Copies of this chain bind each other. A is one copy, B any other.
Amino acid sequence: MQATRSSAPAKVILFGEHFVVEGQPAIAAAISLRAHVTVEPADTDGILVYSKNLGLLEEYRFAERGAWSGKMLSIAIAAYTAMESLGRKSGVKVTVDSEIPPGSGMGSSAAVAVATTHATFRAFGEEPDLKEVSRIAFEAEKVVHGKPSGIDNTVATYGGVIAYRKGEGFIPLKAELNGVRLVLADSGVPRNTGEMVKRVLELKNTYPSVLEPLYHAAGRLVVEAARRLEEGDYESLGRLMNVNHGFLSAIGVSTLELEKLVYTARRAGALGSKLTGAGGGGFIVALVTAEKEKEVVEALRQLSPRIFSVEISSEGVRKEPL
């Protein structure tokens, strides 16, 4: 067994959040923020998990497997399940060092689980099978998050841009996005996924005659966006992000803070902008050309406590030098 290091990317939802819950398609992309995980042999009869970000060390002992609990449980489970899948078991230390803001809707925990699984396979001298990496990360996510959609671990594993629909799996899109960047700005208000999903479904059930054609429009928008992505038609992508944002405003998941960010980004020259993820708080995403990046970031900095300017990342999980 040897020390190894792997990394996996964060994701951002570009189109279709919320509407995906009721069977419409959505599009998510891997971005250039990554979670790095080192796995190395350790003198313990279990799994040590250390987070550089949290400054936290936890020990998960093999003998107590049935009773594991802790803040970093999903990481321990990813490493453990990878070992189980190899039929190997020995003491390891998993060290996490992530650029991805946790609790932001960017799939931080899935990226960590994917990188952990990947590094664990490699630590035992096995070439990781990506399908197996994604599956194990999904299992680890399930233990902690209840009902993950599977999009986070898929994007973290394969990278690039992926279309998906509930019950139908994932389709990689041939999207390069050269010369454009994504600017992510935090509204400073925590998102509230559960509450937002509940609120949207209540609205839909109360006014079905209005919301059903809107869901239909949202599905059509994702199909159109997928086509424009593959054509490299960034201007259309931006315009469709704006339309998508209006749909999210219509279903009640936007806020004053999110609107300020979304419209400020557009005014500063973004090709398009929208809230991303569950809403009620959380982040917006703006599509910007390289030339306009600085202006958009500067304008948002007045309003946002946290901004990331990233690229879409074609690379999923990968090995890293130690």
Contacts and interface: CB of A to CB of B under 8 A. Distances in A.
A240 interface: yes
Given A256-B264, A260-B256, A263-B259, A210 B240 contact: yes
Contacts of A248: 246
Interface string A186-216: 0000000000000000010011011111101
Contact of A246 (B240, B249, B263): B249
A209 B220 contact: yes
Interface string A241-273: 011111111111011100110111001000000
Q: Which of A210, A246, A252, A263 has the most CB of B within 10 A?
A: A210
A246 to B, nearest CB: 2
Interface residues on A, range: 35 or more
A207 B240 contact: yes
A228 to B, nearest CB: 9
A223 interface: yes
A210 B220 contact: yes
A263 B256 contact: yes
Given A246-B246, A246-B247, A250-B243, A213 B214 contact: yes
Given A210-B217, A256-B260, 16 more contacts: A203-B239, A206-B239, A209-B223, A209-B224, A210-B220, A210-B221, A212-B217, A216-B216, A217-B217, A239-B252, A246-B246, A246-B247, A249-B249, A254-B263, A255-B263, A259-B262
